Amino acid sequence: MIIKKVEFVKSVAAISEIPRPRLPEIAFAGRSNSGKSSLINTILNRKKMAKTSSKPGKTRLLNYFNINDRFYFVDLPGYGFAGVSKKLRNEWKGLIENYLTDCSDLQLVMVICDIRRGLTEMDLQLIEWLNRTGLPAQIMLTKADKISKNDSNKTKSKIIEQHALENEPIVFSSLKKTGVKDTLTIINKYTVVIHDT
Ligand SMILES: Nc1nc2c(ncn2[C@@H]2O[C@H](COP(=O)(O)OP(=O)(O)OP(=O)(O)O)[C@@H](O)[C@H]2O)c(=O)[nH]1
Ligand SMILES: [Mg+2]
pLDDT score, position 98: 87
CB 71 within 8 A of CB 23: yes
* Ligand closest in space to the Cα of 34: 1
Which neighbouring-strand residues pair with 2?
A: none
pLDDT score, position 34: 93
Ligand 1 neighbourhood includes 41 CB (under 6 angstroms): no
Ligand 1 neighbourhood includes 31 CB (under 6 angstroms): no
Inform me whether the pLDDT recorded for 194 exceeds 70: no
pLDDT score, position 88: 74
- How many other β-carbons are positioned within 10 Å of the β-carbon of residue 117? 13
pLDDT-derived band of residue 193, with 50, 70 and 90 as boundaries? low
Tell me the CA–centroid distance for residue 55 and ligand 1, in Å.
Answer: 9
Ligand 1 neighbourhood includes 179 CB (under 6 angstroms): no
- What's the whole-number mean pLDDT along residues 58-74? 89
Sheet architecture: strand order including 170-171: 6-12, 62-67, 71-75, 25-30, 106-114, 137-142, 170-171
* Ligand closest in space to the Cα of 53: 1
Ligand 1 neighbourhood includes 197 CB (under 6 angstroms): no
CB 172 within 8 A of CB 144: yes
pLDDT score, position 3: 87
pLDDT-derived band of residue 195, with 50, 70 and 90 as boundaries? low
Inform me whether the pLDDT recorded for 152 exceeds 60: yes
Domains of the chain from N-terminus onward: 6-190 (3.40.50.300)
Flag the least confident range among 41-45, 81-85, 144-148, 163-167: 81-85
Average pLDDT of the chain is 89
- Looking at per-residue confidence, does 112 or 14 come out higher? 112
The predicted-structure confidence for 1-21, as pLDDT tens digits, reads as follows: 788 899 999 999 888 899 999
